[in-house]
Amino acid sequence: MYRYTMLCIWMLFSHGWVSAQTQRADSLKLIELSEIVVSDSSIDSEQRRNTLPVEVMSAESFRKSFSGNLPQTWATLPGIQSMDIGSGFSKPVIRGMALNRISVVENGIKQEGQQWGADHALEIDPFNYSSANIQKGPASLLYGSDAMAGVIKLNPPVIPYADQFLGEVIWLRKSINASLAASLMLGIKKKSLFSLFRHTEQHFGDYRVPTDAVVYLTQKMPLNNGRLKNTAGFERNSYNYTAFGKGTYKIESTISNVYQKTGFFPGAHGVPDSARLNDDGNKRNIDLPFSTVNHFKWIVSQQKYWERLSIYFQLAYQNNHREEWSTFHTHYDSQPVPEIDPDKELMFHLNTYNANLKLNYYASSIWKHIAGVDVQYQHNRIGGYSFLLPEYQRATIGGFYMSEYQVTPSLFVGGGLRYDSGSVDIEPSVDSYLEAYLQNQAYAPEEIERNKVRSYEVSRNFGDVSFLLGVVWQAEKHLLKANLGKSFRLPGAHELGANGIHHGAFRHEQGNPNLRSEKGLQADISYSYKNKNISFEASSFFNWFGNYIYLEPTGEWSILPHAGQMYRYTETEAFFAGGELQLDWNFYGNYFYHASGDYVYTCNRKEKTALPFSPPLSWRNELSWRFESKAITIEHHAIANQNRISRNEAKTPGVNLMNLSFSFDLKVNPNPVEFTLSIRNIFDTQYYNHLSFYRKIQMPEPGRNFLVLVKVPVSFNITNKNKK
Amino acid sequence: MKNNIFNLCFLSLTIVFTACDNNNADLNPPVITLNDPAEGEILTIGDEHGVHFDMDLEDDVMLSSYKIDIHWGEDHEHHHSSSLLRSLTEEGTEHFKFQESWDVSQTRKIHVHHHQIMIPRNAIPGKYHFLVYCLDAAGNESMLARNVFLSNDEHEHEHEH
């Protein structure tokens, strides 16, 4: 409620302020075509001026493969995978790395939620999409800690040229979980002001899977009508983007609030018990256990241009509030039922403040210098009757310099250096109920003393250098890129100080306060060829980590009830190697063939096994017919067996999937109505996703799914006389 | 020149992609065959002979240890307040809890049979979770879960579950 009030107050305030500004301002139009128009040529120029391999997903290709979920849609690009967490939510994976090893950046600010959790979704409105650039490779240089495997940059909305009112209604229906989503956008462009509002609602019912039972901990759990009970949920998102420009000055504000509530499949919570899976006769209710998350974000960006210099300054505030609810249960007799919110098991309340300053200096038309400073402060508060993650404060400051030099018309060199300094302070926590339990169970005093502490007071400082050096060589139809970089990541608070049973993981996870910051040396090379009918791209990478942080099974029994062996965050030497291939071929008239594939080989050098969640070899063949706005696409997606597993992970058999999609525009004056129909997993094939959080309970992936996406854009020019 | 680069790439890729595949790495978890107690079995509170526990453990390389964890299992679907209040009000009774591990190292296969789980007279009757975990020498873990019922009367078979 508070956040909504703040949102309203801000909107009133900003509008009063902006209109005051516009009255004084002249009517200079703000045109930055190089940034706002996503066309082939701008994609090409992005490719030529970015030494890292970049995938660009435009709104058009996003629409074609949209599944109602951002990471799954991006996963159609080579080198990108999605980590599914049930209920239709997912997390993005770049070249086999996810969680705190990649960054999702919206309008220049890194999304900060509880992204360390493999079952926590990305809190961004999937309908609020204009385009995204996905950089594969070490991106710490520009984006700081965490962006070691890459960064997903979500671009702000396209500002129309003409003064106009604009609007859009998007409607999505999915059969798999009876999902119904609607998104309404309204905007205005008047002289130097542009403002856009969006509201999205998405409601979905229990998920349908092509099986009538799941086997969990050797017990067969029946499913009613193939539906996963209590996986229903809803999403409610609001967004405002406002930009105002005067001369060479521009200010942008982005406010968003994303709320998600989803039920957890009760069969996967704790000990399997088919009694909990009895049909409740309602496939839309959200019963216990469930999770809620609210992500509020406000970004204010200011830019000022001079002849050779531009300054970019950003301030941002984010609040991520996550709760996991499950009927109060405890293994400790002395623990009373909490008086307020008795069923609130876990709560994380994370506040993040950012300030970024970036200077671009154009020494000449071929030489550009970029320097910047990023400051971030976070504090995390906790609640609930269970303990998983401690309270902490974390502050980081980083400074970087990079240079881009066009040596010859065909050779471009870019590189730079960054230093980051960070501190993490973890609050101590002692569990008196656990202490009483251990006393009651007659444990030795020293064992009680050691185990009653849920988190130790930790105060750590980290400092790290990252760099990137890359070249782009271009000769007519050929483009070659090579990079060498070093990236780093501060250990997350969960890696330093977690101590408890993560409800979704059923295992005792313990942090290690002595971890060093994770460092990676990364090299990649990519080649692409493009002519009128064919474009081809191949890339390969090698990432080496001297101290990759992972959850190691210790072989020691946990002292906590309802836990097997202890898993402790440990460092290991590790590497990731792999590559991607991509081919687009207009082989005849309006017929197109697209193929893409990726593979990642992971290696934990200590254990001599793969790392957890290693993506299997995947290959997509796509045949399409396109004419004007009409397109028919049939896609074959082959996923190979994943037999390279980490300890206590199951092998996953491969699968062949078929998808079909039609899209066409219906000419309704003045704007066309866009229709997209698709059928995913046409043959209702039962399969598993090796990267799914629910893989370990043998929960299959969605069966046949019909999607209908309708988009009705409208725009009315305000002063038609001057325009066109 | 191009050929040399290609060969070099190919060679390094071959080295990289085989560097980690130690065919001897044991990733297979041990197999737990719990013969007794069975799913839904009623265990008698205060039974002097202890719980009849019978299990077979097997691993392809080497076993390490196993652990039994028994705890109150009704909270998940009953009103927490009622079951908890009962435990607090009925004087002298408490939820039965059992956590113990046994060493079974130096062997690949073992038949386990014992009566070491004693349910004290003050245990609260009701549904309990009976979990068996087993680790092999390499750290691979298996887990098996059963629901059992604790009862004061051996012949009481009526449960609403």
Whole-number pLDDT of residue A215 = 75
Least confident of A239-248, A276-285, A379-388, B4-13: B4-13
More confident call, A156 vs A8:
A156
Residue with tokens 């959080």, as numbered in its chain = A693
Using a CB–CB cutoff of 8 Å, tell me whether A482 touches chain B: no
Whole-number pLDDT of residue A217 = 65
| Contact: A557, B141; criterion CB under 8 Å | no
Whole-number pLDDT of residue A138 = 82
Of B16, B131, B144, the CB nearest to A542: B16
Domains identified in chain B and CATH numbers: 24-151 (2.60.40.2550)
Whole-number pLDDT of residue B57 = 92
The b/e string for A82-117 (b: 16+ C-beta within 10 A; e otherwise) is bbbbbbbbbbbbbbbbbbbbbbbbbbbbbbbbbbeb
| Contact: A329, B80; criterion CB under 8 Å | yes
| Chain A: closest CA distance from residue B48 (Å) | 20
Least confident of A19-23, A68-72, A405-409, A467-471: A19-23
How many residues are recorded in chain A? 724
Which residues of chain A make contact with B70, given a CB cutoff of 8 A?
none
Average pLDDT over residues A138-148: 82
pLDDT tens, A204-230? Answer: 888 888 888 877 766 777 887 778 888
Residue with tokens 């910051």, as numbered in its chain = A517
- The sheet carrying B31-36 orders its strands as B31-36, B53-58, B109-114
The torsion angles phi and psi of A220, rounded to 5 degrees, stand at -85, 120
State which of A22-36, A237-251, A328-342 shows the largest mean pLDDT.
A237-251
| Contact: B139, A553; criterion CB under 8 Å | yes
pLDDT tens, B1-37? Answer: 556 766 766 666 666 666 676 666 788 899 999 998 9
Q: Is the pLDDT of residue A266 over 70?
A: yes
Average pLDDT over residues A76-96: 84
Q: Would you state the structure tokens that stand for residue A573, as one six-digit string?
A: 């030497």
| Contact: B80, A342; criterion CB under 8 Å | yes
Share of chain A above pLDDT 90, in %: 40
| CB-based contact A11:A240 (threshold 8 Å) | yes
List A residues 427-446 in contact with B (Cβ-Cβ < 8 A). 437, 440-441
Q: Is the pLDDT of residue A187 over 50?
A: yes
| Chain A: closest CA distance from residue B106 (Å) | 15
The b/e string for A484-515 (b: 16+ C-beta within 10 A; e otherwise) is bbbbbbbbbbbbbbbbbbbbbbbbbbbbbbeb
Report, at the CATH architecture level, how domain A2-717 is classified.
Answer: Beta Barrel (2.40)
pLDDT tens, A15-64? Answer: 333 333 333 333 334 444 444 444 445 567 767 777 888 888 888 788 77
pLDDT tens, A548-594? Answer: 999 888 888 888 877 888 899 999 999 999 999 999 999 999 999 99
State which of A268-272, A540-544, B125-129 shows the largest mean pLDDT.
A540-544
Whole-number pLDDT of residue A267 = 67
Whole-number pLDDT of residue B5 = 66
| Contact: B138, A337; criterion CB under 8 Å | no
Of B9, B73, B97, the CB nearest to A271: B73
Report H helices in B19-142.
80-89
List A residues 531-590 in contact with B (Cβ-Cβ < 8 A). 540, 542, 553-555, 557, 559, 561-565, 575, 577
Q: For the residues of A357-380, what is the DSSP string, one character each?
A: EEEEEEEETTEEEEEEEEEEEEEE
| Chain A: closest CA distance from residue B109 (Å) | 19
Q: Residue A627: count other Cβ atoms within 10 Å of its Cβ.
A: 10
| Contact: A555, B72; criterion CB under 8 Å | no
| Contact: A327, B75; criterion CB under 8 Å | yes
| Contact: A565, B139; criterion CB under 8 Å | yes
Which residues of chain A make contact with B72, given a CB cutoff of 8 A?
331
Average pLDDT over residues A633-640: 94
Which residues of chain A make contact with B135, given a CB cutoff of 8 A?
555, 557, 564-565
| Contact: B143, A272; criterion CB under 8 Å | no
The segments of chain B whose pLDDT lies below 70 read 1-3, 5-6, 8-19, 21-24, 75-91, 154-161
Average pLDDT over residues A703-716: 90
CA angle A533–A591–A539, rounded 5-degree value: 50
Average pLDDT of chain A to the nearest whole number: 84
Of B39, B77, B97, the CB nearest to A441: B97
Average pLDDT over residues A358-376: 93
Neighbouring C-alpha atoms within 13 Å toward the C-beta of A289: 23
Whole-number pLDDT of residue B132 = 92
Preceding peptide of A266 cis, ω within 30° = no
CA dist., res. A108 & res. A104, Å (int): 9
The torsion angles phi and psi of A212, rounded to 5 degrees, stand at -110, 5
Whole-number pLDDT of residue B1 = 56
Whole-number pLDDT of residue B157 = 43
Which residues of chain A make contact with B161, given a CB cutoff of 8 A?
275
Q: Is the pLDDT of residue A601 over 50?
A: yes
| Chain B: closest CA distance from residue A679 (Å) | 36
Which residues of chain B make contact with A271, given a CB cutoff of 8 A?
73, 76, 129, 131, 145, 147
| Chain B: closest CA distance from residue A555 (Å) | 5
| Contact: A328, B75; criterion CB under 8 Å | yes
Using a CB–CB cutoff of 8 Å, tell me whether A650 touches chain B: no
State which of A24-28, A314-318, A344-348, B33-37 shows the largest mean pLDDT.
A314-318
Distances (CA, A) of A258 to A264, A320, A695: 19, 9, 27
CA dist., res. B73 & res. A329, Å (int): 9
Q: Which one-letter amino acid corresponds to residue B17?
A: F
Average pLDDT over residues A529-555: 91
The pLDDT-based confidence of A293 (bands split at 50, 70, 90) is very high
Of B27, B65, B133, the CB nearest to A609: B27
Which residues of chain A make contact with B75, given a CB cutoff of 8 A?
327-330
Using a CB–CB cutoff of 8 Å, tell me whether A274 touches chain B: no
Average pLDDT over residues A398-422: 92
| Chain A: closest CA distance from residue B107 (Å) | 16
Average pLDDT over residues A407-423: 91
Of A218, A441, A607, the CB nearest to B144: A218
Whole-number pLDDT of residue A213 = 81
pLDDT tens, A506-533? Answer: 788 888 989 998 988 999 999 999 998 9
Whole-number pLDDT of residue B11 = 65
| Chain B: closest CA distance from residue A562 (Å) | 7
| Chain A: closest CA distance from residue B98 (Å) | 8
The torsion angles phi and psi of A140, rounded to 5 degrees, stand at -60, -30
